[in-house]
Structure formats: structure tokens, C-alpha cells
Chain A
């Protein structure tokens, strides 16, 4: 479903601030894979996600999404195959537009936009049903500006928008990092539910080791722009935070010193 082949990403090339964010990264994802991507600050996990999404072009290597060579495709063209949720709850929705307008924009992902009405009354019923499944009372707030919703509600809406049109690949970029622990847990539960209901192929970036272990069928750890661990199947199920830390140490030759990941 996703095939990343030897990609490199260099920021500020040729200057004193040159930073090699990705060094020869390759990943093969099968249909239905749910990968959790973990690593410290500057490990390259968000850069990798953004390279797949087309926010950045890559300097070497290729990216293939669902059989399409996406290496040179601009962001909005790749978006027809992708569902995305961002770390910042503000990023995934248009805050000055009402809830149903946001959902309507998402429902038309991958279709050419024309002069038909932006929302039809038939859709409204669908939206109301889908929102009632979120259990946040949003089904009666279709005409509320999204800017008035809480961070957790906005992330739930963004998740719904990312999956309302089944994507080939769902990209979650630390989408619970800006939420309080309780809300984060609810949004993660919703994430799991939507992924299993729709059998979505997913890549989820997180800095939380426990979440990375608990969710998904495969865990990839990055360090200094490289993939250093790729754990799947039965092995992944048996992982604990301690064993993961130990394996990080032997794979990277360093101690894992990322407080945020350890403390949470």
C-alpha cells in the first residue's frame, strides 16, 4: 500500500544550518498495516510523514502510494489518496466555517469541484449519523462554527474528515499530543475504532511509548533520520516499555533520553 524507497531529505542544503533529516529511509506497508512510528525530537518521524504527504519533496529515493508513483506529485494530488490528522487541532479544520461545511469539503476529497451546491440535504443526514457515533453530542451542532469546538472535538472531527472518504493511507501526526490525557485517550480509542471498522492502512506518529506499544500491529522506531527498529506481529504484542528501551539502546548505541516519551 505504501512503498518508501531509500529517501533522503536535507533541510537548508549547502548552508551552515544544513540538516539531514532523513537518511536512506525505506518502508514497505501492506494493506491493513497499522504502523506506530516513534522516536525522539529530531528523529525524523514527522519529516517522514510530511514527505509521504507531499508537504516536502524528497531529495533522493521514491515514494509509491497504492501503486501510484507519488514522488513528484504535489500535496493536493496525493491528498486524494490520503487521510491526514495533524498535531495542532487548528490545522485540520477551517475554523470560520460551520461543521457541515467542513465535512462536505472532506466528503469531496479526490473529486473535481464544480458548480454543484457545496452541501446537499441528503448529506446532512449522513453527517448527523456519523457524528452521533462519535458520542460527543456534535450531531446537533452541524451549524456551529468549528472554531467554537474544543481541541478534542476538533480532532475527532478531523479524524472523521480524514476517513469519511476511505483513504488508501491514513497519516496521523502526533494527533493527540496537544490534548489533555483524558481527551487524548478518547481520541485514540476513536482512532482505533475508525481504523478497524474501515480496515484502514495507517501510519501514526507518536512520542508516547505506551501508545506506540498498545496500538497497531507494527512499531517502527527512528533515530537521527534512520529507522533503527521495526517490530511486528507476535514480537510487537510482547513489547513492554522496558524491553523497547533496551532494544533502543542496543540499536542506536545511545541511551534513550527523551523525557517526554519516558514520562508520559
Chain B
């Protein structure tokens, strides 16, 4: 049981980075960005291919980050310059990335078995493999959270947050909302690809299919984080996203342990997200808000 939890926590930490990326588009920019399904697999593909070719795994992971940023840039340009709706722009990039990822991998999947990964130096320090993942996962999440906390406090960061909130007002303050949307998408997809790179090195292979359904996992983690751990200030909000991703993994581990077939996982996740998104409506239906109207009003 402890091993299951440990495995779930380590996987959750790696997915936290992706969850934070989804949060930037879904909550901050108010865009449902499907590019992530392609960019997570792209991050995995780039890292796997680079490592196979003898590149240092940390540099390989860095290249993945850049690849994801490029994917975000493409979606951003499609959306802002060509005025294609955000949802469709994301789908177009996602589909395009499927072919690109196959090109990068050269085949449908690439194994990293017995190769040096970002986790190897931690294992050399004497940590067993899940502790090595937890250690590196924790470091990555802390760096990402600190970076974003700083970034969204800067002038540009404030402008991006305002763009998701009220683009009219932002333009009236002399800010190019298109640029802000592009920057947001670039950072988001960079993080998602970084997450993909870390995940592929953990599972020791990269697969062109690994992005399928990842947006729903990301959304589930965002919502679980917000519901369970609140959304007080921005820093705690970022922390709650990581907690959400870990909680999601623990839930999945538990339902699998209880005997659910792993083929049903995506159905389970989709239903969870649908219910979570519908929660306000369901609540209002079961327990309608009482309006007190006094005589004579």
C-alpha cells in the first residue's frame, strides 16, 4: 500500500508541472488549449530521441521545453494572427504534432531502457528509483512554482492575467492582448512538454499516443486542486495545483487497486471531470438558493 502511494506521489509530482501548464491557459487566459495533448508527447519524443543519441538527459529535457514552447507559439499565432478560434487552433496544432512526433521518434514508440536519464544522478546518491523521482519531481515543481509566482507578479505577468479577465480593458490600457495570449500559450506548452520529458524518462519509453486524454487529466487535477485545497492567494493556488495532480494519481491508484480495469480509466476520468464541472449546477438543483422576500417588497 505504501508503495502504491509512493508511486502515485512520484507520478503526481511529474504531472504537476503539466497541470500548472494547463492552469495557465484554462484559468489564467480563459482558453481551453488542446495543444497540450500534442506537446506532452512532443516533450517525451524529443527527450527520448535526444537521450538515445547520447545527449545529456538534462539538456535533452531542456530541448523538450523549447519544443513545447514552439508548439504553443504556433497555436498562439493561429489564434491571434489568423483569428482561428482558440479551441480549433489547439486542435490543429495537436493533430499536426502527431505527425511531427512520429517524425521525431521515427516510429510509434522509443525505449529508454538502461539509458542514463535525469533520475540517474539521484539514484547514484543512493536513493531508490521512486525516491529519485520524488526528489527530482519536487525540485522541478518548486522551481516552476517559484518562477511563475515571480513571473505573474511582474508587469508582463499582470498584463497576461488581466488579458484572461477583461481583454477590452487591457487594450484600453495600451497592451497588445495578442502578444499576451501568445506568451501565455508559449509558457504553458513549454511546461507541458517539460512534464512529458520527465514522464517519459520515468516510464523509460516515449510513445506517440501518450498525450491522448492528457488535457482531461490536467483539467481533473486543476479542479481537484481548487476544490480540495482552496484558491486563496496565487502562491497557494499554484501549490494546490500540485496537490491536485498528486491527489488525482492517488485516486487513480486506489480505484485500480479496488479492481477497476485500467482500460476504463479514461472513462472514469472524463466522468469525474464532467461531474466536477457540473457541480455548481447540480448543487443549485439539489439545494436551490433561498431568496428571502419580505411583504411589500
Contacts and interface: CB of A to CB of B under 8 A. Distances in A.
Contact of B155 (A53, A82, A92, A118): A118
Contacts, number: 84
Contacts of A97: 158, 161-162, 165
Interface of A is mostly: loop
B172 interface: yes
A86 B170 CA distance: 13
B173 A106 contact: yes
B173 A108 contact: yes
Interface stretch (B44-52, B54-62, B174-182): B174-182
Contacts of B175: 76, 79, 105, 113
A91 B166 contact: yes
A113 B172 contact: no
B172 A108 contact: no
Contact of A109 (B165, B166, B173, B177): B173
A113 B171 contact: no
A110 to B, nearest CB: 5
B7 to A, nearest CB: 37
A101 interface: yes
Interface size class of B (residues with CB under 8 A): 20 to 34
B153 interface: yes
Interface size class of A (residues with CB under 8 A): 35 or more
Contact of B169 (A93, A115, A119): A93
B157 interface: yes
B156 A114 contact: yes
B154 A92 contact: no
B172 A79 contact: yes
21 contacts: A53-B172, A79-B171, A90-B166, A91-B166, A91-B169, A92-B172, A95-B166, A97-B158, A101-B162, A102-B162, A105-B170, A105-B173, A105-B175, A108-B173, A109-B173, A109-B174, A113-B156, A113-B159, A115-B155, A117-B155, A118-B158
Given A76-B175, A92-B169, 12 more contacts: A79-B172, A79-B175, A94-B166, A97-B158, A105-B173, A105-B175, A113-B155, A114-B155, A115-B155, A116-B155, A118-B153, A118-B158
